[in-house]
Amino acid sequence: MNTTTMPFASDTADSMAAQSAAGAQGSSPGRASLHHVKVQALQGDCCVVICADGFYNLPVAAGCLLQPQPGDTVLASLADGQGYVIQVLQRHAAGTPACLRVEGDTELDVRGGSLRLAAESIDMQAAQAWRVRAQTGMVETGLLSIEAARLAESGGQRQAHWDSSTEVLARQQSFIGRRELYLERGVRRVATHEEQSAGSVRLVVARDWRVRADSADLLGGRRVKVDADTVQLG
């Protein structure tokens, strides 16, 4: 077990010499000794460790982000029968997931640079809310899956470019102020019934237009007009 003595405050030369002479008898009041110890067990948020003078139940210091596990070698600070685990020096089970813990609200501030995260996989879990703010954003992935009970989108302009697109909807409602649709070729199939209503409709066909039905009704409330060079009935 390695032990290092660190002063909490500056002392006079005589006081330092006297405490150095008494170092073999233990730590002096007001001074902390550092020990390399192993975590024997966990009791709540505290670690049970064994030092030369007995067992200690030490809490984990706020600056120790990596949470100790049984068997880990840690750096413990002791003073006046109390202390803290201030750092994990060596993990006992390196293959098990490591846990970094911070209590309370936390802010990671990278000033004057960029932050890069690299991992085989990233799993982010937010119990209440998740928010990302940026002037510009980009996501590059081979497969992107979004599952949501309700999805709301809003913005000034939206553009989408796809080689192919498929939508399967149980029900759709669209409210559009103005719509323009340009198709090279289109096919529309309605299995049961379709109904259209409009204030006025104008249909311009460059070549030919054909309507085929088992029965067809053309009803004009005021007038029906057919104007052509040739009109064939039957």
Give tens-digit pLDDT for 44-85. Answer: 989 999 988 889 999 999 999 999 999 999 999 999 889 999
Fold held by 3-90: OB fold (Dihydrolipoamide Acetyltransferase, E2P) (2.40.50)
- Match 């937010």 to its residue by tokens: 126
DSSP per-residue string spanning 105-155: -------SS------S------SS------SS-----S------S------
pLDDT above 50 for 127? yes
Would you state the structure tokens that stand for residue 22, as one six-digit string? 């008494």
Q: Are 56 and 48 in contact (CB under 8 A)?
A: yes
**pLDDT tens string 164-212:** 999 999 999 999 999 999 999 999 999 999 999 999 999 999 999 888 8
* Mean pLDDT value of segment 80-109: 89
**Amino acid sitting at position 4:** T
* Structural domain boundaries in the chain: 3-90
pLDDT above 60 for 5? no
Share of the chain above pLDDT 90, in %: 58
pLDDT above 60 for 7? no
Q: Are 30 and 8 in contact (CB under 8 A)?
A: yes
pTM above 0.95, yes or no: no
